[in-house]
Amino acid sequence: MYNFKKSSIVFFCVLIIVLPLDLQVVEAEEQDVVENVILMIPDGFSTSYVTSYRLFKGEELVFDPFLIGMIKTNSANSWVTDSAAAATAMSTGVKTNNKMIGVTPDGQILKTILEEAKGSGRSTGLVTTVSITDATPAAFGAHVISRKDQTEIAKQLITKVDVLLGGGKYHFLSETSRNEKQENTLEVAKSSGYYYLETRDQLLNLSGSEEKVLGLFAEAELTPVIDKRTKEQPSLEEMTTAAIQSLHNNEKGFFLMIEGGQIDRAGHVHDPVWAMNETKAFEEAVEKVLDFAKENGQTLVVIAGDHDTGGMSVGGYDEYVANVELLKEAKATGNYIASKLNHKRSNAANVMKEYTGIKLTKKEAKQIKKAKKKEVAISINHIISKRAYIGWTTHVHSGTNVPIYAFGPRSHLFSGNLDNTDIPKKIAEVMGVEISNK
């Protein structure tokens, strides 16, 4: 006869012995320090961009499986953040006012997660498709009251960031040095050991052993991917690959922030073609990062938007329709198309047909012709957007929550509805460092 009482005693004895062992294993896993963290920021990227790009691509995104939560984005002084305050929150764990970089609202310097990683012996890197001194990369390695002070930002970045890749050469040359060839930040960088690059070929020819690299591939921002007519500038994927190769030389690990900066630029001018192609370029960089992380096994990847730009909607104009696939036919941004119009804009129909595949109506042609000089590109973008049934609500940012994705060891820590200040705190925990800001 089955002895239930005896069996129950044996079961609970086994449970008492085994359960603590399991808990010890979980606790040990929780305490493991991750060597590398790659934080990827698609600037201005919200769920509407995700949905639009999925329709544009026609299939799931490479980072879709790793969606883990949402992020609240407000700054210290507004429900609608700018990039400076958003990046400061994401780098320091403290909210600041719009337009401020790496400091509190009263101007006190805040330690960043990049600086903490550097202090732990890790290598550090920043990669972007805009100026390397722009708000998002700047907030990880600089401290200024105003995001406009990009010359000062350049000076600060070269003191703590090992790999810098993007645009912004202009800001590494002071006004006096441009005119009188005096020593400037660029020369200081070279003399302090940076391997300096200006072209895509130079980047692709790196040996991979260079520990400090400064690549400035444009005076200001890189050319939008869809407007590139030469191969002088590298892609975000190529810059990402080079950065990882260099930073991975450090046995103690690295922290790398990669920004898809021009998704935001497209949103500001309501250009869905620009936005979708920059998202495509960002996804290609994500794929490269995920490949590295899967092979390496000691790399956490976090992908997080900083805010929404433009208030994009999928579908609109009083119809239950979306036609984002139309954007695949376009061959240039609205800015580029506008540059091809003649003085009277009488060639608008031909230019639009050539670069977008759209046959303008008389009303649309008149709309382009009557637009103010500074608004011609936006007029073009609105025509394209309407054809694709994409709506816009603002030329700045909105306060909507944005998605966060995570892959790799301890990625589960980033689940839920987070505040943007939670991100560097969790990264610090994963890396075994401490952000001491309050």
Structure tokens at 388: 């694709």
pLDDT value of residue 182:
55
Structure tokens at 165: 């890749």
pLDDT at 242 over 80: yes
Pairing of strands 402-407, 299-304: antiparallel
* 51-101 tens-digit pLDDT: 999 999 999 999 999 999 999 999 999 999 999 999 999 999 999 999 999
pLDDT digits (tens, 9 = 90+) for 335-393: 999 999 999 999 999 999 999 999 999 999 999 999 999 999 999 999 999 999 999 99
In the annotated binding site for Zn(2+), the residues are 43, 264, 268, 306-307, 397
List, by residue number, the catalytic residues.
Answer: 83
Nearest to 315, CA basis, from 323, 306, 307: 323
φ, ψ of residue 220 in degrees (nearest 5): -125, -100
DSSP letter string over 301-356?
A: EEEE---EES--EESBTTBS---GGGGGG--S-HHHHHHTS-TT-TTHHHHHHHHH
Closest residue by Cα to residue 420 from 68, 110, 88: 88
Mean pLDDT of 420-427: 98
Residue 262 near residue 129 (C-beta atoms within 8 A): yes
In the prediction, which pLDDT does 105 show? 98
Continuous segment of H or E residues that includes residue 384: helix 376-388
CA distance 77 to 96: 7
Q: Which two tokens stand for residue 176?
A: 């006096």
Q: Which residue is it, tokens 């000076």? A: 155
Q: Does the pLDDT at position 318 exceed 90?
A: no
Nearest Cα neighbor of 272 from 349, 317, 360, 333 is 333
H helix count then E strand count, the chain: 17, 14
State residue 436's pLDDT score: 82
Q: Which range, of 94-108, 155-169, 304-318, averages the lowest pLDDT? A: 304-318
Q: Is 373 left (phi over 0), alpha (psi -120 to 50) or beta?
A: alpha
Can you tell me the distance from the alpha carbon of 98 to that of 74, in angstroms, rounded to the nearest whole number?
10
Residues in the annotated binding site for Mg(2+): 43, 134, 136, 259
Q: What share of the chain is helix, strand, coil (3-state, %, to 5)?
A: 45, 15, 35
Q: pLDDT tens across 263-317, in order?
A: 999 999 999 999 999 999 999 999 999 999 999 999 999 999 999 999 999 987 8
Helix (H), strand (E) at residue 127: strand 123-131
Q: Which of 249, 220, 246, 244 is nearest to 233 (CA)?
A: 220
Domains of the chain: 35-312+395-429 (3.40.720.10), 314-391 (1.10.60.40)
Residue 33's identity, in one-letter code, is V
Report the C-alpha gap between 337 and 348 in whole angstroms. Answer: 9
Q: Is the predicted pLDDT of residue 29 greater than 60, yes or no? A: no
In whole angstroms, what is the distance from residue 249 CA to residue 95 CA?
34
Confidence check: pLDDT of 229 > 90: yes
Collapse the DSSP code of 263 into the 3-class scheme (helix H, G, I; strand E, B; otherwise coil) and give the result. Answer: helix
Looking at residue 176, what is its pLDDT? 54
Q: What is the predicted pLDDT for the residue at 159?
A: 96
Amino acid 180: pLDDT: 55
